Chains A and B, each alone.
Chain A
Amino acid sequence: MLNLLGIDNPLELAVIIVGSFILAPVFGMLYRGIDRKLVARMQGRIGPPIIQPFRDIRKLLMKENIIPDGAIQWLFTAAPFIALIASALLLLYIPLFGRGALLGGTGDAILVLYLLIIPSLAFVLGGFASSSPYATVGAQREMVLMMSYEFPLAVVIVTLASRIGLVTNANPFMLATIAANPIWNLVGPLGIVGALILVFTLIVVTIGEAAKVPFDIAEAETEIAGGLLVEYSGRNLSLFYLADIIKAFAMVSLVVALFFPYNLSPLVGIGIPVLAGIVDGLFFLIKVFVVMFLSITLIRTAMARFKISQVSYIYIIAMTLIALVGSILIGIDLLVF
């Protein structure tokens, strides 16, 4: 079992399991609370306490769980579980807290790309199964959004992997390989500009993945009354709430794993394993916070929702072109230097 996972030390294994199953969801919820607090402060409000997401979930768990008459019952009930399980699966394949991923040896970035689709797909299934016109409209919008952001995301990951594949014999799609060869160390000045453009693309894709303003067309409370989740209540709603939080955390961790896989402990020279682990874990949390602040909190406060026609255009045409410019710059960098 241990050899299969590629981790020899049982203590290390325990740390990773605790990290991905307990710490990641807890910090995901804390970050959601911090996000709400920061948005409120930027709007000149006081805002909810940062433990508000925990209170929301505790409250939702004691509410009645209604299944509407017109709904497809088994699908309506299964969708929240699929969403939560798929989001939790993501945490097994993405390196967290400066350690390797639990199943990182068996799955690469392409698998993560596919796994990222499943929670959204579960949201869509739940929306269609609830038979509410609002939820159906929301589900259709979510599908359009999903198809739109895949393309720029794929361009980013393929560019990274193809550049890293030139300097190493290991599978360049493995997140561990990407972590061992950070893109910033490989490229010259032109390539760094290209990589910055790719980071920008990935940050815009993160907003879409997390379904936040300005890409929250599928939820759009002011026009389609909460969209996908319009018929969900009680326990089912809390599962979706949690899945959404975990997925946002996983997506931001993916950005960190792809572009900022540095650990602090080798730089400052901490040799003791336990201390180094704690320092790296805290450093990871800071990295995640910075990316989350830039991609979700700041933009959510600064912008209004895009129209549904603009969202597809922005991802499929604009962001893909921007990502291609970044990848061409990295290519030119290879020829010049």
Chain B
Amino acid sequence: MSLKAFKRALWVYHLNTGSCNGCDIEILAVLTPRYDVERFGIRLVGTPRHADVLLVTGPVIKQMVPRVKRIYAQTPDPKVVMVIGNCGSEGGVFYESYNLAGPIDQIIPVTVYVPGCPPRPEAIIEGVAKAWVKLEQLEQQGVL
């Protein structure tokens, strides 16, 4: 099967691992009439079982580690993980804080990083476009 179908029907699940809510509000801004990602077929879904893309925000506090792993496992393959914001990418203002289990890529494999504190909605949409490219590369390598 071709991944062409995938590119135009990505369903997104939003996972907050202890974020300050800045990035989460920018994710909501992506869905508003001004940016309207539904025109690309991107939908925010309420459960990881329906998701193709995990949008992870926040620096992963220690209590979230088993939950993050579980939600990653609950998402059906093929899937892509996108980190939104500086905190998830490398710790941000919480860098080396005592209650963190490290940035997200130490817990689950990450495909796309979108830096920014918080990133602009345009940057998030560009990140999703990068995720499409990644899915296509995976297909060419015969992984999927």
Contact = CB atoms under 8 A, between A and B. Distances in A.
A201 to B, nearest CB: 31
Interface in A271-311: none
Interface stretch (A6-14, A164-172, A225-233): A225-233
Interface string A147-160: 00000000000000
Interface stretch (A20-28, A48-56, A204-212): A48-56
Interface residues of B, number: 21
Contacts, number: 78
Contacts of B41: 48-49, 52, 55-56
A322 B131 CA distance: 52
Interface of B: 1, 5-6, 8-9, 33, 36, 38-41, 45-47, 49-50, 52, 74, 76-78
A59 B9 contact: yes
- Which among A36, A58, A61, A63 has the highest number of chain B CB atoms within 10 Å? A63
Given A58-B9, A62-B1, A47 B36 contact: yes
Contacts of A134: 47
Given A55-B9, A63-B52, A48 B45 contact: no
Contacts of B45: 221, 226
A47 B39 CA distance: 4
Given A56-B9, A58-B5, A59-B5, A45 B49 contact: no
A59 B52 contact: yes
Given A58-B9, A63-B76, A45 B38 contact: yes
Given A225-B46, A230-B46, A232-B49, A63 B36 contact: no
A107 interface: no
Q: Is the interface of B mostly helix, strand, loop or mixed?
A: loop
A162 B1 CA distance: 54
A269 to B, nearest CB: 44
B52 A48 contact: no
B1 A226 contact: no
A47 B38 CA distance: 6
Contact of A52 (B1, B9, B33): B9
A48 B43 CA distance: 10
A48 B39 CA distance: 4
Contact of B36 (A40, A222, A226, A231): A40
- Which among A45, A47, A232 has the highest number of chain B CB atoms within 10 Å? A45
Contacts of B47: 134, 225-226, 229-231
Interface in A39-94: 40, 43-49, 52, 55-56, 58-59, 61-66
A39 to B, nearest CB: 10
A234 B76 contact: yes
A34 to B, nearest CB: 14
